[in-house]
Structure formats: C-alpha cells, structure tokens
Amino acid sequence: MTKLSALMCVHNEEAQLAARLQELKFADEIIVVLDRCTDASKSVALEHGAKIIEGAFPIEGDRRMAAINAAVHPWCLEIDADEGVSMALADEIRKTIDATDADYHLLPVDNYIGNRLVRHGWGASFGTSAVARLFRKNVKTWGQQAVHPVVNFTGRRGALLQNPLHHKVDDTISDMIRRLDRYTEARAGDIRAGRIAKLEQETLGRNIGRFFARFYKCYVRRHGHREGLWGFLIALMAGLFPLLSFLKAKLEPHHGR
C-alpha cells in the first residue's frame, strides 16, 4: 500500500480540529502546522497523534511548504481545517495513489455558506470548485505571497477525483465580508512588498477592469446566476478583491509595517 502524509495548517481551530483530524486517520501520518495559535489547537493535534510544527508564518506559502517539507511519505494530501473528508473520498484517495501513474490530482469541492450548498460561481480568488491537493512529494511548490500564493507543479496531472471535499466557506454574509477584509489586507501587503506587482505599476483603471472581468467570470462563465442572489454576492466579492487590495495598498502605503 502506497503511504500518504496528510498536511494541515491551522490558526486557532480548536473548535473543529478534532473532527477534521479524525477524518484523516486513514493517512499514514498527519502533520499539523500551528501558525501563531493561542488556543488549544496544539493539545487537540497531539491527542490525535499528529506531528507538530509551531511558528509564525505570515506568508501562506511558507507554512504550506513547511508542512510539505516535513512529510516523510511519497504522497501528500493537503487539507484545511474547514474542509471535511468523507469516508468515500478517503477510500478513493487510497485507491488513486495505489494505482495512478500521474503526479498530482484535483479534488472536487462542495462549498457551503451556512448550511446551503452553493455549487456554481466560484473562482477568481474567492473560492474554487476544484483544488490540486493530492500530489507526490516534491512536485508542488507554493509561492511567496501572503494570500493565494502562486502554485507550481512538475509532472503530469491525473484525472479529477469523483468524491468532493466538503468546504464550509462561511457561516454568514458578515463572515464573507470579514474574509474579504482579511484577504484584501494580505494582498495589499503583497503589493506593497512587490511580491505580486509593483505598486507603481498598479492603476485604478486596471483594477476596475479586473472587477468587471472577475464578476463576469463568476456570474456568467461559471454560472453563478444559477445560485440567484448568492451567486451575485460571490461574484461581487470576487470582483472587489483586487480593487480593494489596490486601494488599500495605494491609500495606506505604510499600514501593517
């Protein structure tokens, strides 16, 4: 049987961490990166036999790579604390890594807002309908961005798995707005630091264009309109993400330094 390392990066996730780690017991090892945790996440992880890495990782790519580098098995599965792995998905993952000759696979994602399953409209940096989380070690690298880091793969992509991850995106619209605030703050920091673009090269016109392009992508091309007002809201958030990030970087050039 091909061996698998399950990887998870968390920040103060004690409320849901135990359930997520229990779902990962099918893996041969579990690695938990504790990023500036002040709650009982460490105790929960230790109770479930996880290997612990503690530290401060303001750059998302750094903490993702810390988990990958600590893995000892040939295949890795990355899971976030708000993502559930069903028994059917766990079984499919095991069968896939035993049989595949590919180097990485995408997992489909069922996204929930509260208890509502929202299938359409995700994309443009505010959600996704599939994620490349199952891969051979050393074929995936994360970039140096604080939010939505660039991901690079070597090797060949395999077939999309059939069973989805269950992703609890947000509970309420207020949660979505708070997440937008966090994401745009992190992206503004990336812009200020030159990790994604030079501030002097960013313009209002360019980011207004991104607003409309991302809204159209989510609401029309990815069929967000099928979700009614929820689809409109997701498209709106996706469009605002680059525009608000630019405005924060431009109008608050020293914020967070």
Neighbour-count burial for 174-195, b at 16+ CB within 10 Å, e otherwise: eebeeebeebbbbbbbbbbbeb
Shared-domain flag, residues 156 and 219: no
Domain boundary among the residues 168, 198, 219 is at 168
Shared-domain flag, residues 117 and 244: no
- Residue 37 pLDDT: 96
Kindly report the pTM of this predicted structure.
Answer: 0.91
Tens of pLDDT along the chain (257 residues)? Answer: 999 999 999 999 999 999 999 999 999 999 999 999 999 999 999 999 999 999 999 899 999 999 999 999 999 999 999 999 999 999 999 999 999 999 999 999 999 999 999 999 998 678 899 999 999 999 999 998 888 899 999 999 999 999 999 999 999 999 999 999 999 999 999 999 888 877 788 899 999 999 999 999 999 999 999 999 999 999 999 999 999 999 999 999 877 65
Domain boundary among the residues 130, 147, 168 is at 168
Is 153 a domain residue?
yes
- Residue 255 pLDDT: 77
What is the per-residue pLDDT across 106-165, written as a single tens digit (0 to 9) for each?
999 999 999 999 999 998 678 899 999 999 999 999 998 888 899 999 999 999 999 999
As a whole number of Å, the CA-based R_g of the chain is: 19
Is 220 a domain residue?
yes
Is 124 a domain residue?
yes
Is 257 a domain residue?
no
Q: What is the CATH number of the domain that holds 105?
A: 3.90.550.10
What is the per-residue pLDDT across 101-110, written as a single tens digit (0 to 9) for each?
999 999 999 9
Shared-domain flag, residues 162 and 182: no
Q: Are 94 and 4 in contact (CB under 8 A)?
A: yes
Is 222 a domain residue?
yes
What residues make up the domain containing 18? Answer: 4-168
Shared-domain flag, residues 128 and 8: yes
- Residue 25 pLDDT: 97
Domain count for the chain, please give it: 2
Domain boundary among the residues 138, 168, 198 is at 168
CA distance 184 to 182: 6
Is 79 a domain residue?
yes
- Residue 124 pLDDT: 66
- Residue 125 pLDDT: 75
Structure tokens at 202: 């960013």
Shared-domain flag, residues 164 and 177: no
Shared-domain flag, residues 138 and 222: no
